[in-house]
Amino acid sequence: MSTSTISLKTFLAAARDALAAPPAKRSLPLTFVVGNESADIDSLCSAVVLAYLRSHIAPQRLHIPLSNLPREDLALRIELGPVLAKADLDASDLITLSELPQQLDPKETQWVLVDHNALTGDLKKYESRVVGCIDHHVDEGTVNTQAMPRVIETCGSCMSLVVDTYADAWRNLAHGEQSAIVTKNISKDLTQLAQVALAPIIIDTINLTADAKVRPKDTSSAKLLESELMDDAEFDAKAYYDDITEAKENLSSLSLRDILRKDYKEWEDGGIKLGISCVVQNFDFLLEKARSGQEALVQEMQSWAQEQKLDIASVMTTSNPGGEFQRHLLVWGLTDASKKAVKRFRDDATSKLKLEEWNSGTLDEEGSRYAWRQLALDSSRKQVAPLLRDAMKWAGANL
Ligand SMILES: *[C@@H]1O[C@H](CO)[C@@H](O)[C@H](O)[C@H]1NC(C)=O
Ligand SMILES: *[C@@H]1O[C@H](CO)[C@@H](O)[C@H](O)[C@H]1NC(C)=O
Ligand SMILES: *[C@@H]1O[C@H](CO)[C@@H](O)[C@H](O)[C@H]1NC(C)=O
Ligand SMILES: *[C@@H]1O[C@H](CO)[C@@H](O)[C@H](O)[C@H]1NC(C)=O
C-alpha cells in the first residue's frame, strides 16, 4: 500500500481481495485485526480503524479487519447503520467469519486482538499467533508480554485506547510533516475514519457522561478526534449520537425471529432450559410487527423456542411510550416441569418485580404463559434471569 490515504471502502475491498486470493498468491502472513465475539459497535469499529491505521504506518503490512460474527448476524447490528453511512460503507463491505477460509494454517497468520484479550471459539487455534492486543477488559494473561502493542487497561471504550495508542501515527497521517496542525485540511478519507472512531466512544460512554465508565483516555481521544483529526464543517456530534441511538431502536428492518435472537441469552438449571430475548420495543410493537396479531406473535415465539429447544421462553422489553420508560416481561413454560417453574416464579417474583398483568391478559395462557408490565424498572435481565433460574432449580428438585 502507498503512504497516501485511501477511503475505508477501498481499504476494505483490498482486505477482502487479500483474503480471497488463492493460497499460492497470498501475501504471508495474513494479518488480522479481530474484535470480541459480542461484535458490538466498539469491537467492529475498533477492528476496522486499527486495521486501517496499521496498514498505513510502517511497515505498512495490510491488516484485514475481521468482524467476529457470521455474515448473517451482521444484519442484527442495526446501530451500525449511521456509522457505516458516515464512511459511505455498507454492511457488505465488512469482512466476517463467513469469509475466513476454512483451512488457514495458523503459521501463515498473525493476529491483533481488540476488545478482548483471549481468542475464543473457532479462532482459539490461532492463539499462539497473537502479536498485539488493545483491550479494555481484565487481562487474562494469554497475550504474550512481547506483543506490540500490548495495551490492556480499563477504559469506557476500547476505541479510546486504539486512538490513544496511535495518536501520533494518526496525527502524522492527517497532517504529514507539518509541525503546525492545520485542522482545516484533512482528507475526506481520514475525516471519515475519525468519525467511525468517534461512534463507539460516545455511544459506550453515553456522550462521555457515564461517570462510572468514562476514563481520561475516553475524553482525550474523543477530543483528539473532533478537534485535530477531522475536517468536516457539517459534522454535528450530537446529531450523530442521536442517529445511532435512534437506529438502535429502529427494528423495522428486522424479522420477528431476528428481533428475538438479536440480544438473546440462555441458561439451564434443574434440567430446564431457559432463553431470554431482550427487545428495545414493547409488546404493542411486536404485535403490530406480527401483522395478524397475537396468534402470529405467539407462533413466532414458539418457533424460536423450538429452534433453541427451550423449555421456558422469555421476552423482556424496554420502551419509552410517550416518553415514559417502561419494562414488560413475558414468561412462557412450554413443558410440564417448566410450567411448575413458571408458577413458582410468578408466586415469587410478582412482588419483587412489581408485576402487573399486561393489557388485560391478551397474551396470557393460564398456567403457562404470562405477560406483565414490570414496574420494578431497575431490574434488567441481570436481575430477572436469576429469579427464573431459582424457580427452575426448585422445579427440577420438586418434580
Ligand atoms: C467480550 O466482551 C464482553 C462485553 O464487554 C465481555 O463480557 C467478554 O468478557 C469479552 N470476551 C472476552 C473473551 O474478553
Ligand atoms: C492541503 O492539502 C492539499 C492536498 O493534500 C495540499 O496540496 C495543500 O498544500 C494543503 N494545504 C495546507 C494549507 O496545508
Ligand atoms: C454531548 O456532550 C456535548 C458536550 O458536553 C454536548 O454539546 C452535546 O450536545 C451532547 N450530545 C448529546 C447527544 O447529548
Ligand atoms: C427505520 O428504518 C427504516 C429503514 O430500515 C426507515 O425507513 C425508517 O424511516 C426508520 N424509522 C425511523 C423512525 O427512523
DSSP assignment of 20-62, as one string? HS-GGG--SSEEEEE--TT--HHHHHHHHHHHHHHHHSTT---
The answer to whether the CB of 182 is under 6 A from ligand 2 is yes
> For a substitution probing ligand 3, which of 209, 241, 246 has the most ligand atoms within 8 Å of its CB?
241
> For a substitution probing ligand 2, which of 185, 186, 188, 228 has the most ligand atoms within 8 Å of its CB?
185
Shortest-distance ligand to the CA of residue 4? 2
What distance in Å separates the CA atoms of residue 119 and residue 110, rounded to the nearest whole number?
12
Under 8 Å CB-to-CB from 352, ≥6 apart: which residues?
376, 379, 387
Instruction: Using DSSP, state whether 390 is helix, strand or coil.
Output: helix
Count of CB atoms situated within 10 Å of the CB of 4: 9
Nearest protein CA to atom 12 of ligand 4, as residue? 250
pLDDT in tens, the chain (399 residues): 335 789 999 999 999 999 999 999 998 999 999 999 999 999 999 999 999 999 999 888 999 999 999 999 999 999 999 999 999 999 999 999 999 998 899 999 999 999 999 999 999 999 999 999 999 999 999 999 999 999 999 999 999 999 999 999 999 999 876 656 666 678 999 999 999 999 999 999 999 999 999 999 999 999 999 999 999 889 999 999 999 999 999 999 999 999 999 999 999 999 999 999 999 999 999 999 988 788 999 999 999 999 999 999 999 999 999 999 999 999 999 999 999 999 999 999 999 999 999 999 999 999 999 999 999 999 999 999 999 999 999 999 997
What distance in Å separates the CA atoms of residue 216 and residue 212, rounded to the nearest whole number?
12
Shortest-distance ligand to the CA of residue 173? 2
What distance in Å separates the CA atoms of residue 184 and residue 10, rounded to the nearest whole number?
23
> How far lies 313's CA from each of 64, 76, 340, in Å?
39, 20, 14
Which residues, judged by CB distance below 6 Å to any ligand atom, belong to the binding site of ligand 3? 207, 238, 241-242
pTM of the prediction?
0.89
The answer to whether the CB of 246 is under 6 A from ligand 4 is yes
The answer to whether the CB of 171 is under 6 A from ligand 1 is no
What distance in Å separates the CA atoms of residue 95 and residue 328, rounded to the nearest whole number?
36
- CA–centroid distance, residue 306 to ligand 2 (Å): 61
Strand-strand pairing, 326-333 and 369-374? antiparallel
